[in-house]
Amino acid sequence: ESQLNPNYSFENFLEGDSNRLARSAGLAVAAKPGGTSFNPLLVFGGVGLGKTHLAHAIGVDIKDKYPEKTVLYISAEKFTQQYIDAVKKNNRNDFIHFYQIIDVLIIDDVQFLSGKTGTQDVFFHIFNHLHQNGKQVILTSDKAPVDMQDIEQRLLSRFKWGLSAELQNPDFETRVSILKNKLYRDGVEMPEDIIDYVAKNIKSNVRELEGAIISLIAQSSFNKKEITIDLARIIVEKFVKNTKREVSIDYIQKVVSDYFQMDIDTLQSKTRKRHIVQARQLAMFFAKKFTKASLASIGSQIGKRDHATVLHACKTVDNLSSTDKQFRKYVEDITKKLSI
Ligand code: ADP
Ligand code: MG
């Protein structure tokens, strides 16, 4: 049993700038599993951006092209559970052997392995065996390898061997085509302006985008109401309210620089003046705390720094807020400003 969902196909995975690299890497892997330098292929990105869908699509496509290959999809959570059960039943070796003879192993949400040293250890051995034998490994994660915490270094370094491809928030056009494709597949007609309205207002999660449309269709057929912009507004609002709003890195930079009465260019500048460095470090710290952006992406948006600088900034802020009273007040004040 491959555990693959045939509905999660490449055909149904709409292409856009936000997913082009990951999607085409997936296609390349599916054409030649184990035969490209994308091994492992690691797909990372935020919630609801299509990691699970894409992981299945690769598996489904491989099964299609190479029916003789064994393909297995499993979530890291289930993998961990299986491993714990195997250890309890004294079947550790059988467990390892089972995974070592698979041709294509797809593990979803590897961030779940954080802190689970036993499972990481066994996965390390399985991974090495598969990789040495030219078998394909496909992983997904909510973070880039550089941002993963509590994963052993030797495993992280293997995650970086192949290709890490990010799924970003889809742009407006991609959101519209995803909605249209969904409606088409469900055989539902929907006025263009309603589709536009939903796509305009739900930006950062494809699952919510689809959820809003499904609930709109349900509402209208249930209450025999026509689908109007007003109905769309009510439903979209519910979806947007239910999801915690994420502050943007731009907004954080604005709040921090306003707080210290400097402009954003100063905050981002190369100067080593202490109060400016501290303001910049605070902006990085809050970006890490309040957004899902990777360290690399935070660094590039806050004055074109690298991920190590951001990591250092976060540690410095942590240290200073526990040793320096004035600094702790900065952190508290800015936290309040960002929370409203
Ligand atoms: P993740 O695993 O990243 O949280 P999922 O793979 O579960 O996200 O995707 C959430 C929903 O959005 C699924 O129903 C999936 O089919 C859909 N989806 C995501 N990206 C796309 C895309 N590019 N085209 C079509 N549907 C998509
Ligand atoms: Mg998923």
Asked if residue 53 has its Cβ within 6 Å of ligand 1, the reply is yes
pLDDT for the residue numbered 222: 78
Separation CA 24–CA 39 (nearest Å): 14
Domains and CATH numbers, the chain: 20-167 (3.40.50.300), 172-242 (1.10.8.60), 249-339 (1.10.1750.10)
Please state the length of the chain: 340
- For residue 223, give both structure tokens: 């209450």
Ligand 1 center–CA 213 separation, angstroms: 14
Residue 44, SS3?
Answer: strand
For a substitution probing ligand 1, which of 44, 206, 208, 213 has the most ligand atoms within 8 Å of its CB? 206
Separation CA 195–CA 205 (nearest Å): 16
Angle at 284 between CA 283 and CA 287, to 5 degrees: 85
Longest dimension (CA), the chain: 66
Nearest residue (CA) to ligand 1, atom 14? 207
Higher pLDDT among residues 337 and 299, named by residue: 299
pLDDT for the residue numbered 238: 82
Nearest residue (CA) to ligand 1, atom 6? 50
Under the banding of pLDDT at 50, 70 and 90, the label for residue 340 is: low
Higher pLDDT among residues 238 and 281, named by residue: 281
pLDDT in tens, 269-278: 999 999 999 9
Under the banding of pLDDT at 50, 70 and 90, the label for residue 28 is: very high
For a substitution probing ligand 1, which of 60, 198, 204, 207 has the most ligand atoms within 8 Å of its CB? 207
Alpha helices by DSSP H, listed for the chain, are 20-31, 51-65, 76-88, 92-100, 117-132, 153-159, 172-186, 192-201, 206-222, 229-242, 249-259, 264-268, 274-290, 295-301, 307-323, 325-339
For a substitution probing ligand 1, which of 14, 53, 186 has the most ligand atoms within 8 Å of its CB? 53
Out of 117-121, 187-191, 306-310, 328-332, which region has the weakest mean confidence (pLDDT)? 187-191
pLDDT for the residue numbered 102: 98
pLDDT for the residue numbered 226: 83
- Shortest-distance atom of ligand 1 to CA 50: 6
pLDDT surpassing 60 at residue 244: no
pLDDT for the residue numbered 20: 97
Asked if residue 23 has its Cβ within 6 Å of ligand 1, the reply is no
Under the banding of pLDDT at 50, 70 and 90, the label for residue 220 is: confident
pLDDT surpassing 80 at residue 224: no
Ligand sitting nearest the alpha carbon of 45: 1
Out of 101-110, 216-225, 294-303, which region has the weakest mean confidence (pLDDT)? 216-225
Separation CA 310–CA 175 (nearest Å): 31
pLDDT in tens, 289-306: 988 899 999 999 999 999
* % residues pLDDT > 70 (the chain): 98
The mean of the pLDDT values for the chain is 94
pLDDT for the residue numbered 257: 95
Q: Are 54 and 22 in contact (CB under 8 A)?
A: yes
Contacts 24+ apart (CB under 8 A), 234-241: 236/197, 236/198, 236/201, 236/202, 236/212, 239/202, 239/208, 239/211, 239/212, 239/215, 240/201, 240/202
Q: Looking at this predicted complex, what is its ipTM? A: 0.99
Segment 250-258 shows an average pLDDT of 94
pLDDT for the residue numbered 18: 95
Ligand sitting nearest the alpha carbon of 18: 1
Segment 197-202 shows an average pLDDT of 94
> Pairing between strand 41-45 and 163-167?
parallel
Asked if residue 58 has its Cβ within 6 Å of ligand 1, the reply is no
pLDDT in tens, 275-289: 999 999 999 999 999
| Burial grade of 115 (CB within 10 A; 0-12, 13-18, 19 or more) | exposed
End-to-end, the C-alpha distance of the chain in Å comes to 49
CA dihedral for 292, 293, 296, 298, sign (positive or negative) = negative
pLDDT in tens, 47-83: 999 999 999 999 999 999 999 999 999 999 999 999 9
Residue 201, SS3?
Answer: helix
Ligand 2 center–CA 73 separation, angstroms: 12
Asked if residue 59 has its Cβ within 6 Å of ligand 1, the reply is no
- Shortest-distance atom of ligand 1 to CA 109: 2
pLDDT for the residue numbered 243: 60
Separation CA 18–CA 247 (nearest Å): 20
Angstrom distances, CA of residue 238 to CA of 84, 191, 221, 233, 242: 40, 20, 18, 9, 6
Asked if residue 49 has its Cβ within 6 Å of ligand 1, the reply is yes
